[in-house]
Structure 1
Amino acid sequence: MSDNSQIRPVIFDPKLRLNRSDVIAKVRDLSPNLASVDDQVSPIVGSKAEALKQLGRLNPATYGRTRNHLDGAVTGLSPFVRHGVISTADIRDQALGLNTPKEAEKFIQQLAWREYWQKLYRENPNYIWNDVEPYKTGFDAEHYADDLPEDISQAKTGVACIDQFIAELLTTGYIHNHARLYVAAYVCHWRRVKWQAGARFFLMHLLDGDPASNNLSWQWVASTFSHKPYFFNLENVEKFSGDSVDTRFKTNKTLAGSYEDIYARLFPNLEPKT
């Protein structure tokens, strides 16, 4: 058992009026070994004022039309919800004040999914780090690696779009949900690594990462909490990424091909996809 007697709580005196640079310096001073793990400081600013500013930019109808696109009208509110700065009820009320229930439907559905994950976590805490069901990939759990390879954690896989998404995660502490699905599928199915390893990696870096939404979503991708594995192809990334992501064939060859071809490559023990 480790000795926690020397651990001191981190207390910031509100009278000091520390600015962002002061806080960053203070955290680094209190965590001298942090640089060896993660020395990046996210550009995302955390405060009640910033949360309300983001909330004021909310456009639920546009979100519903563009939410799957990496440059779509996402809210950027998830880190504030994760850390209790604002609640999903606050966001729901704002959405319904801006649009009709029908116009806000897709947006509110996403809030409902978050609440569903939280409720499931409370009722089944064992789901968070254990397979809910067997893999449905034609492989058993023992066929998957326990640890995340370094080339993935360092954004050096050689698959350009995947490396770009991971680098963004490491730099900012945030990536679009669709990019999270792409990375998770790559880790689980292309590299055949257990979803738990990927989930831990995300929780280390995501500012909005919480065990319920994160881990159960990884299980959904892996197929241990779904009736089939989630996977994608390069054409899908190109469709939803816009011009800011490298989706060239020569730098993303392993993702190229029809869904039928990729299915056959990733899941050779399953019946062919038709």
Structure 2
Amino acid sequence: MEERLARYLISVVEQGSFTRAAEKLHVSQPALSQQIRHLEERLGVKLLDRSGKTVVATDIGKAYIGHAARALREFDAGKRAVHDVRNLDRGDLRLAFTPTFATYLIGPLTHLFLSTYPNITMTVDVLAQMDIEAGLMHDRFDLGIAPSHPESAEISGTSVGEEHLNCVVSPDHPCADLLSINSEVLSTLKLALFDRSFATRLFIDKHFRANRLQAKISVESNSLEALMSLVSYGVYATILPAFAGNRIAGTRSIPLSPAIATRPICLLKRADGYHSFASIAFEQMFNSTDWALPSTK
């Protein structure tokens, strides 16, 4: 009963309207309004200000909703714990990635995990790190993958490795059989690179400046698919994190010399939250992944 009323109250405030909240909750508007009034009468306080065009929480209502929201998160975590299965014959896993990591980590990581635990249902969101941390605190995600440690003390972060950038070419490219690509060779290549909205590109540009390379950048794109399409012609090369390049079929992923200094890969989770068996298994897989060594293609 209290759980349902708390959800009703929070929905009314989120929607700013009894009508919209009733539609979202699939209840009638009069019934919803009556339930909230009964809650206010029981508590002896006014939780909502109904005087304006938008329904808002009173100061007392804000305090109550804050406690109610935390209680609901724990209640929902309890329900997941009851339905959680230790042998992972079923379960759910909610992941969030920052945009750059999402481009090349979602595919291989979800494939690796689901190959071992095929009955787990995964949901994946792509968000800025600050939104991932907020989602973890509000129990919308189990784990987040981001490029830096969390700012909030409520979130724990573990650095599991660093990105290593490789030059990726097709098997028909003149450099395909090289064991490494030095600065002299790199400066001669026709490059198709991520645009500057990607943090990876910033590291590449910094490397070019530090080594005084006059790179031949033929194409810039925000699409990995577009870059790989160009690479397939055997004329262009791109630079990608080794974890991605090593796993793209029909390509050669070649280390750079000198290597490009990059950023850490961090796994984020709520410090004091319930951690499902699925999230624990994913974390173990993630921590044991070698982010530089090639995979079998």
TM-score for both structures, normalised by structure 1: 0.24
TM-score for both structures, normalised by structure 2: 0.23
Question: Which structure has the highest helix share of the two?
Answer: 1
Q: Which of the two has higher C-alpha Rg?
A: 2
Question: Which structure has the highest strand share of the two?
Answer: 2
